[in-house]
């Protein structure tokens, strides 16, 4: 990755879990490692993968999750394993996990984040504590991202947090996070890191809202199901606005024409997961009754992504590494537009590693169809 080698990336497309972990280990192992992050296809046999991770990285803190696609030095991949390691000479990490998300309470989540931050601060070098960030990996089918994200960011205060919701290769059956040597569902992992290197938190999207308003008039917020929009069946009204019949709707339509909601003057994407036989729409984010939505269309995903990285490198110097949480719907749109090679080249040039998610977190907000991440710089200009 970066010239100093303080962050090392790995990516294996081996089909066997043991072989994939072995290849990954050879690429990322460092003499003194603060943390290893990995992202893997849910199509791997996860028990052998966990066993091999524990054997290969004995004594090292390892965190990961299953995905809807992986991003690494080879760009976008499927049925692969990607990730990165962070040198203890430049990073200090603390990791905590939350189980039983179905019973999550806001106050307990806030306290959890505060305690984890206190643990980090007791271990940081001079100045590190003012240069810290958080990463959340969470069960992408838990339906609990909103309260968890809000509570953890509240507990972290001024320490910025980004994250991604784990996937299962679009099966929508079960997603997993990895901590303490094992995969778990109905769970989340919070990683806090302090570093002597400069970094920036990333949020980039490429959608422009159209003018017509959609008012949510009937909703099951807990299940993220919108039954009615503008007093009509949700699927009928959405299909009308994008110019197709309800029967013609596909995941590609949802990826191409998401809806957005304005929060504090900024548009945040609220993506549709699928339509239902009863005429309702299931979303990747919670939607409340009375919320005003607008259909949006994309403009210049590739150009905006490249511009984001150029700005980051101008500010941070050559990027040692970039962790990206990239919505699966962006992945689908990029595939539909035959831009995977071009986007993958951008990721490669700017040392980006990460995964395709079922949702993204930015600060205290759970969002969709966005790329969130952490760009870590060297402070030195790129050579060549």
pLDDT tens per residue across span 255-287? 888 888 877 777 788 888 889 999 999 998 888
Q: What is the pLDDT of residue 47?
A: 97
- In the chain, where the domains are located: 7-204+302-377, 207-298
Residue 126 clears pLDDT 60, i.e. is over it:
no
Residue 176 token pair: 């997993």
* Torsion, Cα of 148, 283, 362, 348 (10° steps): 130
pTM: 0.91
Residue 381 clears pLDDT 80, i.e. is over it:
no
Per-residue 3-state assignment (H helix, E strand, C coil) for 34-74: EEEEEEEECCCCHHHHHHHHHHHCCCCCEEEEEECCEEECC
Determine the Cα–Cα distance for residues 116 and 157; give it in Å rounded to an integer. Answer: 12
Determine the Cα–Cα distance for residues 324 and 203; give it in Å rounded to an integer. Answer: 10
Task: Name the DSSP class of 245.
Answer: -
> Higher model confidence: residue 85 or residue 265?
85
Q: What is the pLDDT of residue 3?
A: 46
pLDDT tens per residue across span 134-187? 999 999 999 999 999 999 999 999 999 999 999 999 999 999 999 999 999 999
Residue 4 clears pLDDT 60, i.e. is over it:
no
């Amino acid at each position: 990755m970066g010239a100093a080698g303080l962050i090392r990336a790995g990516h294996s497309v081996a089909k066997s879990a043991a072989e994939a972990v072995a290849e990954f280990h050879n690429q990322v192992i460092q003499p003194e490692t603060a943390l290893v992050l990995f992202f893997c296809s849910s199509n791997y046999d996860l028990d052998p993968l966990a066993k091999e991770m524990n054997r290969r990285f004995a004594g090292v803190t390892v965190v990961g999750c299953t995905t809807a696609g992986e991003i690494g030095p080879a760009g976008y991949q499927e049925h692969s394993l990607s990730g990165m390691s962070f040198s203890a000479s430049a990073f200090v990490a603390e990791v905590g996990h939350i189980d039983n998300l179905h019973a999550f309470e806001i106050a307990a989540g806030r306290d959890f984040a505060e305690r984890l931050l206190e643990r980090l601060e007791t271990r940081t070098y001079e100045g590190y504590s003012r240069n810290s960030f958080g990463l959340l990996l969470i069960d992408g089918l838990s339906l609990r991202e909103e309260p968890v994200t809000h509570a953890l960011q509240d507990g972290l205060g001024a320490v910025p947090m980004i994250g991604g919701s784990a996937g299962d290769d679009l099966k929508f059956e079960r997603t997993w996070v990895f901590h303490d040597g094992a995969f778990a569902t109905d769970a989340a992992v919070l990683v806090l890191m302090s570093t002597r290197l400069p970094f920036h938190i990333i949020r980039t999207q490429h959608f422009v809202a159209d003018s017509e308003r959609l008012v949510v008039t009937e909703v099951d917020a807990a299940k993220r199901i919108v039954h009615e929009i503008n007093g009509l069946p949700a699927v009928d009204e959405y299909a009308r606005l994008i110019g197709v019949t309800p029967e013609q709707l596909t995941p590609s339509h949802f990826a191409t024409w998401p809806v957005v909601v304005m929060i504090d003057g900024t548009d945040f994407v609220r993506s549709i997961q699928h339509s239902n036989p009863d005429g309702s729409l299931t979303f990747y984010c919670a939607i409340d009754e009375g919320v005003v939505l607008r259909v949006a269309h994309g403009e210049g995903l590739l150009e905006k992504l490249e511009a984001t990285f150029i700005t980051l490198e101008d500010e941070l110097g050559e990027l040692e590494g970039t962790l990206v949480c990239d919505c699966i719907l962006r992945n689908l749109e990029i595939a539909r537009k035959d831009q995977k090679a071009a986007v993958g080249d951008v990721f490669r040039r700017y040392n980006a590693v990460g995964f395709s998610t079922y949702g993204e977190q930015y600060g205290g907000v759970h969002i969709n169809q966005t790329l969130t991440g952490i760009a870590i710089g060297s402070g030195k200009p790129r050579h060549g």
